[in-house]
Amino acid sequence: MNSTEDYVAEYIERICYNYLGPTICIIGILSNVLNLLILTERSLKESPYSYLTAMAVTDLCALFQALLFMLFSKNNPTSYYWKFYDAHIFYPIINICTNSSVWLIVLLTVERFLFVRFPFWGKVNLNRKGSHIKIALVMVIMVIINIPRFLTFTVIYLPEKNAYILHSQPFRHSSVNYAISWFYSTVINFIPLFVLCISNIYLLVAVHQARSHRKLLTNQNNNKPTWHRDQMRLTITLISIVFLFIACILPNAFSDRPVAHALFGKEGESMKDFGSNSRSYRILQVLTNFLLWCNLSLNFVLYCAFNTKFVQVFKKMLNRWAKKIHERTEAMTSFQAGEMNSSELSLGHRQTHLSLTRTT
pLDDT of residue 195: 92
- Asked if residue 135 lies in contact with residue 225, where contact means CB atoms within 8 angstroms, the answer is no
Dihedral angle over CA of 281, 105, 98, 31, nearest 10: 110
> Exposed (0-12), middle (13-18) or buried (19+): which is 105, by Cβ within 10 Å?
buried
Distance, CA of 199 to CA of 108 (rounded, Å): 11
- Asked if residue 30 lies in contact with residue 36, where contact means CB atoms within 8 angstroms, the answer is no
> Would you give per-residue pLDDT tens digits along the chain (360 residues)?
456 777 888 889 899 999 999 999 999 999 999 999 999 998 888 888 999 999 999 999 999 999 999 999 988 888 999 999 999 999 999 999 999 999 999 999 999 888 888 888 888 888 889 999 999 999 999 999 999 999 889 999 998 888 898 888 888 878 888 888 889 889 998 999 999 999 888 888 887 776 666 555 555 555 555 666 677 778 888 889 999 998 888 888 777 777 777 766 666 666 666 665 667 788 888 999 999 999 999 999 999 888 888 999 999 999 999 999 888 888 877 777 666 666 655 655 555 555 545 555
pLDDT of residue 356: 47
- End-to-end Cα distance, the chain: 104
Distance, CA of 214 to CA of 93 (rounded, Å): 45
Distance, CA of 146 to CA of 139 (rounded, Å): 11
Distance, CA of 83 to CA of 90 (rounded, Å): 9
pLDDT of residue 226: 61
Distance, CA of 129 to CA of 331 (rounded, Å): 41
**Residue type (1 letter), 239:** I
